[in-house]
Structure 1
Amino acid sequence: MSEALTPATLLFVDDEPSILSALRRLFRPHGYRILVAEGGAAGLALLETETVDLIISDMRMPEMDGATFLKQVRARWPHTMRILLTGYADVTSTIAAINDGEIYRYIAKPWDDLEIVKTVKEALERQALEAENRRLTALTQVQNDELKTLNASLEQKVSERTAELRQALTFVEQAHGELKKSFLTSVQVFAGLAELRNGPGGSRLAGHGRRVAEMSRSLALRMGLSDAEAQSIMLAGLLHDIGKLGLPDELLGKPFNTLSQEQRALVMKHPQIGQNILMAIDKFKDVAILVKHHHECFDGSGFPERLAGISIPQGARILALVNDYDALQMGTLVQRPLRQEEALAFLIDNRGKRYDPAAVDAFVKLISETQKGGPSEVPLRSMHLKPGMVLSRDLAHRDGYLLLAKGSPLTSDIIGQLVKLEQAEQQNLTLYIRQEEK
């Protein structure tokens, strides 16, 4: 508040005392702090010890004229506003003052009192705006520097806490290249964190989120849901197990029906934890609801809220069906992995119990049509790969994490990375390539 009440300081420079007195009488009633100097040298000496907001200098003075004086002021105190008084028709000198001293305005003598008072007021207002702009620019720079420091600190903490994943994530970044920049690919990397954990059955978990996402989206579209709804269901499929990141390693991939009561209680918390993680992100609010309820059963026997029938969000009913279908074949739901036909039989047997009848019926038809009309595939070693080929199966590392997902198109860069991986780890990779029917 004290700065706002401090009056502006004006400096009048003229070799004629009468002019200085006239200016002092004119401006003193307006509340300004007034300083005077009888010449340019005296004005420069005064500026060495005083902070001045605005200078009014006469043009014609002995030893140092106004143009020279204001040029030096500009060089040493550039933020001080500068006004020139000129009492004769010396156009050349006035132009020099405008160019060299960058004066705010020049006023002819004899001046009009109202005009010169108004000019000073406007000059000080402009000076205040420029000062505020400099302050805000400096503040923005400071805040940007602080944000950079904070980001660097956060990145360091994340790096320390995920050291065991660094090698796998680095390869994913190299393999996906420009694709990793897209929103969907970022979600896939985020969803893959749970699958990168080295718990029992880690290799079986590879690609689970991607498969659930793709099949859930296809089923949603088949059941008449909109593209936007299908997109949300696909994202929920990718992220449905994100709440398992905090589970002990020994529970990951272990069949649910083999867990103890205490272990089941831990596992049953992951849908709610997943929702809590995703709710903080505005784009994921709808997805978070589906993640929370993807273990609800149609007959009300599921968790976490024991919802039943159509009170379960339709996207969650679709996810529950597709998630179990894939889990049955991985062996993470019952004690042994089931064949595809056995998994479908399980869904049909639990129609109206665990699963939405309409979803079961649509899914069985979808699987049947996919088997009839799907493209064939051919296994190839990396040396035989060519850009443009498309994977027909997920490619998993021997340690269990996903390298490339089914449906990924191959580029020269990706093929090169695969060859380097084989050389570095001395293992041969076999990729299944989609072969379209002719």
Structure 2
Amino acid sequence: MIPDAKALPVVLFVDDEPSILSALRRLFRPQGYRVLLAESGKAALAVFETEPVDLVVSDMRMPEMDGASLLEQVHQRWPMVGRVLLTGYADIGSTVAAINRGQIHRYVSKPWDDRELLMCVQDALERRRLEQENRELLQLTRTQNEELQTLNTNLAARVKARTSELEQVNAMLETSFAQLQENFLLSINVFSGLIELRGGGMAGYSREVADLARRTARRLNVGAQLEQDVYIAGLLHEVGKIGFPDAMLRKPLSAMAGDELALYRRHTLNGEAALLPLRQLQRVARFVRSHHERIDGKGFPDAISGDEVPLGAQILSVASDYYAAQSGRMSLKRYSAAEAHSLILGGAGTRYEKSVVEAFELALKDEPTEKPRDRQLQAHEVMPGLVLSRDLLSPQGTLLLAAGFVFDVRVVKQLREFASREGVKLTVFVKLPEGGAA
């Protein structure tokens, strides 16, 4: 592909001897330059009027206008053009004066060395290219600075508006995330209640276990995330029993043997398998798997011991054993709360870490730091617009409505129909209005 002639560097050679000009043309044309020639200073100035020139190389000694005078005029009229002086004078003083007057970039002594002259021209053109790029960059920077100043005029207001917009979006996202978390926990509560509908026994058993496990975790200062994971594990720790036969669900552990006992010992593995597909419940699944392990290694399903038993699983184990003893899940005898308490204390150091048992004892004494400001109603007294202050449970302990629910006409009607159809007395706690009296 032949390069565009207009894109080639243009070099103008000025000398009053045609043979020298011919020699310069033969030397430089193969280098990829566009070569122009002038036999006098006046002819060179005429070339400048009609041609774009990147570099002028002029002989010093010429009639009428010598090289120094020519380059001085070029400097004044076309300052961006590179300037090189060829001189045969031995008088260095004249050369220095010429350099000062014409702001000459380089001078080369005659007779020249072809290699030196080629390098000189190449360097001069490269210098001119860099200067041109620098000027363009400076101009671009100046333009951009002016644009920035224009943009900065109203930047503060625009930033403030954008910040306000982002704050609103973040608030909406936080609200949406909180609602998702709330709905997620509500779904787990509902599912936990459905499991208990099959099992019979103590109403709200899993919710009691979950609440005690969370309070125990809080006493151990394990952090909010582990507290929530332990709470969820408490709600779901019996999910692996969902496939048990009805008769087995109502049979205490002490009465099981053979195939039933083998099936019972697999319920923690089944529970883990049911929860693992949910990314949010990965750690919960581990706690469910290991909540029948013991720190002395005599538990199941993995017979792990000591620190191998996850702390969350130990917390869940204490809470579930405490209520399992009272609900008849462990033996035919239903333990009292005091007896179940003693049972847990007796397992410190063998079944459970002592620190977990100590936290469990403190958790039993915990009471809500702030009692809800609410009032108690019966189902037929509930009106649309009232806000539920506590979870509403069925007589079997199943979650019917979660705290914070706002009653509407449809739900009020359904609630009354449910109470009438089932023949049950539902106690509903609703929030008092702000500034209202109990």
Q: TM-score under structure 2 normalisation?
A: 0.51
Deviant stretches of 4+, over 4 Å? 178-181, 371-380, 432-438
Which residue of structure 1 aligns with residue 287 of structure 2? 290
1:396 correspondence with 2:394? yes
Structure 2: which 5+ residue stretches go unaligned? 1-178
Distance change in 2, residues 1:283/1:180 (3 Å): closer
What SS is found at the alignment partner of 2:427?
strand
Which residue of structure 2 aligns with residue 412 of structure 1? 407
Which residue of structure 2 aligns with residue 428 of structure 1? 424
Cα distance in 2 for residues equivalent to 1:181 and 1:365: 28
1:352 correspondence with 2:353? no
Q: CA deviation at 1:364?
A: 0.8
1:236 correspondence with 2:237? no
1:3-14 aligned at under 5 Å gives the runs none
* Contact 2:374–2:430, Cα closer than 8 Å, also in 1: yes
Structure 1: which 5+ residue stretches go unaligned? 1-177
Which residue of structure 2 aligns with residue 299 of structure 1? 296
Instruction: Return the letter of the residue paired with 1:419.
Output: R
What SS is found at the alignment partner of 1:428?
coil
Instruction: Give the count of matched residue pairs.
Output: 252
1:258 correspondence with 2:259? no
Distance change in 2, residues 1:401/1:233 (3 Å): closer
Cα distance in 1 for residues equivalent to 2:258 and 2:374: 44
Instruction: Return the letter of the residue paired with 1:221.
Output: R
What SS is found at the alignment partner of 2:418?
helix
Cα distance in 1 for residues equivalent to 2:286 and 2:185: 19
What SS is found at the alignment partner of 2:366?
helix
Q: How much identity, in percent, do the aligned residues show? A: 31
Cα distance in 2 for residues equivalent to 1:353 and 1:361: 14
Instruction: Return the letter of the residue paired with 1:396.
Output: S
1:6-405 aligned at under 5 Å gives the runs 182-197=183-198, 199=199, 202-204=200-202, 206-370=203-367, 380-385=377-382, 387-391=386-390, 395-397=393-395, 400=396, 402-404=398-400
Distance change in 2, residues 1:340/1:390 (3 Å): farther
Which residue of structure 1 aligns with residue 114 of structure 2? none
Q: CA deviation at 1:203?
A: 4.6
Cα distance in 2 for residues equivalent to 1:188 and 1:323: 16
Instruction: Return the letter of the residue paired with 2:220.
Output: M
Distance change in 2, residues 1:226/1:194 (3 Å): same
Q: TM-score under structure 1 normalisation?
A: 0.51
Q: Which has the larger radius of gyration?
A: 2
What SS is found at the alignment partner of 2:367?
helix
* Contact 1:241–1:274, Cα closer than 8 Å, also in 2: yes
Q: CA deviation at 1:373?
A: 8.7
* Contact 2:374–2:389, Cα closer than 8 Å, also in 1: no
Which residue of structure 1 aligns with residue 21 of structure 2? none
Cα distance in 2 for residues equivalent to 1:308 and 1:235: 24
Q: CA deviation at 1:214?
A: 2.0
* Contact 2:212–2:364, Cα closer than 8 Å, also in 1: no
Instruction: Return the letter of the residue paired with 1:366.
Output: A
What SS is found at the alignment partner of 1:329?
helix
Cα distance in 2 for residues equivalent to 1:309 and 1:435: 46
Instruction: Return the letter of the residue paired with 2:335.
Output: L
Cα RMSD, aligned residues only: 3.3
Instruction: Return the letter of the residue paired with 2:185.
Output: L
* Contact 1:193–1:245, Cα closer than 8 Å, also in 2: no
